[in-house]
A and B are shown apart, each in its own frame.
Chain A
């Protein structure tokens, strides 16, 4: 241990010997606990219906992988999972991109422009932070129904597209951008929008990436709102679709297909997180100025 203490790498608390093994063991145990239900779901999606319903439940994958997944993607219970995946994808991307564009612009307005009622608007936006979708769901439904947007992508996306959190985040970021930068752009002859596009937008890109990950998952996991406004199964999103697969009354639940659907529903968010991990961490950690 004495040599180990001598030269630790800078900025890191180093553990050697027993400490290393104990900490890894704890981490592995944690991973196992988290991963086990997902493993069970995966196993359940690769066996036949009787194998699940008759205890004991299998712990190792069966040979029905292609059959179950093919059935889920192609036909599903009410509607093919492929359709639901596409719906969820459009909704999640629509919400994430929409929220980012709107909050970038509204934060830009709040930070860089003087207009009457600026603070009032800021606080109004801030207040909506306290109102989750569920609180305003009935009036929102009324509005969307009035516009005839039930069972449409517009209806799925628009009510969720404004984000006080993201506006606030970008506001805080813009406030850290030195005023001189805006002034230099003004002297260079850039119009406000030009400054926004050429300077602020590229400077915010790591924040945008981090926010995109968070908002994509937020959009993907929407449950109550799609459940309320999509009555047509072909507009179902996957998260609510899983619930729709549970039988009502005496029907038999097709567990392998439901589990295959669950596994499929998990894949896109995982891909988004993994592929944007680097940018995501950078967006949270450093501010490039």
Chain B
């Protein structure tokens, strides 16, 4: 149990800088999810905390102590890998106890700790099996077990659920969260899946191209995205983005115009979440439907803004039978729309 602090952490491979300075403080017992598309540097960042990659610049500290120069084992961390990385020739018991065996703990104590962890993870019936005789979910649990027997200060997860099927993933998500809660161990969790990030995180770090775009609770990021990237990456289906021009209390997007509650002017990018549109026959926005996706509880309609090429998606509650080519009109509540600078992608705070 410990805090983790990153101070302007940078990573360079040769002359290419892949992480451009990430700073954050993680509180004791917090569950932090690092989320971003592949290649954004999220795994690299995690591996720097783990000690598997060197830190090119900046400082990583765990529990207030600088760990840049320490080997992974001396950092008091445990890591769960994407492909589990279980030792194939060892039984589940040996896999879980290997770290303790290296730490030269007495055999009885190793057995006791492994038994406790196995009980916690319901792995008791499998202790003498080899990893290849286990299902994906069970292997995942063994990997977790290997991490918890060592009672580390920090858990590091590198996309641990991406090899599981969808249903198991939902279940393991809850299990991991529950386990971390009970043990109270600080956790850093890397994923590219924004649903995982939303559901598991106390706070999340949205990363893009080696930068932390936004750090905040899932709802903060969802409701007040600080950058266009964060706005589009979080939320499913992703946020619609339209370019318009603001002037005199209204925003014109092509032929349509939306009333504005703020004194913006000039070109802006506005984000409209598909689930925030209000069907309204008199509404200011029009869309030509191209395709519908009935999901049961709601229906997604994909299409284009009437008279423009911008793709647009709306999510309507319940079942909707829309025909391709049909034109739908709708409005939005202008009060909470996020505006972004079209050049930098940064949020424009709209003062009323």
Contact = CB atoms under 8 A, between A and B. Distances in A.
Nearest to A205: B89
A194 B98 CA distance: 11
Given A194-B102, A198-B98, A187 B79 contact: yes
A189 to B, nearest CB: 3
Contact of A184 (B51, B77, B79): B79
B202 to A, nearest CB: 24
Contacts of A202: 89
Interface residues of A, number: 18
B81 A186 contact: no
Contact of B87 (A183, A186, A187, A199): A199
B156 to A, nearest CB: 9
B72 A186 contact: yes
A181 interface: yes
A194 to B, nearest CB: 7
Contacts of A178: 83, 85
A101 interface: no
A186 B102 contact: no
Contact of B83 (A180, A187, A194, A288): A180
B88 interface: yes
B87 A180 contact: no
B73 interface: yes
B52 A186 contact: yes
A184 B52 CA distance: 10
B103 interface: yes
A190 B73 CA distance: 8
A281 B88 CA distance: 20
B180 interface: no
B89 A180 contact: no
Contact of A189 (B73, B83, B146): B73
A194 B104 CA distance: 13
B81 A183 contact: yes
B78 interface: yes
**Which has the most chain B C-beta neighbours within 10 Å: A184, A190, A288?**
A184
A180 B47 CA distance: 11
A186 B75 CA distance: 11
A203 B89 contact: yes
Given A194-B102, A198-B98, A186 B71 contact: yes
Listed residue (A181, A188, A288) with the most chain B CB atoms within 10 angstroms of its CB: A188
Interface in A163-178: 178
Nearest to A188: B99
Contacts of A199: 87, 89
A189 B103 contact: yes
Contacts of B82: 180
Contacts of A188: 73, 98-99, 102, 146
B85 A183 contact: yes
A199 B131 CA distance: 14
B50 interface: yes
B74 to A, nearest CB: 8
A183 B89 contact: no
A190 B98 CA distance: 9
Interface in A190-231: 190, 194, 198-199, 202-203
A203 B88 contact: yes
Contacts of B79: 183-184, 187
Contacts of B99: 187-189
Interface in B96-124: 98-99, 102-103
Contacts of A183: 50, 52, 72, 79, 81, 85
A283 to B, nearest CB: 14
A199 B77 CA distance: 21
A289 B146 CA distance: 18
Interface in A234-281: none
Interface string B31-58: 0000000000000000000111000000
A190 B72 CA distance: 10
A188 B103 CA distance: 9
Nearest to A194: B102
Nearest to A289: B88
B85 A184 contact: yes
Query: Which 10 pairs, one residue from A and one from B, show the smallest C-beta to C-beta distance?
Result: A189-B73, A180-B85, A188-B99, A184-B85, A180-B81, A202-B89, A187-B72, A189-B102, A187-B79, A186-B72
19 contacts: A178-B83, A178-B85, A180-B85, A181-B85, A181-B87, A183-B52, A183-B72, A186-B72, A186-B73, A187-B50, A187-B77, A187-B79, A188-B73, A188-B99, A189-B73, A189-B99, A194-B102, A198-B87, A289-B88
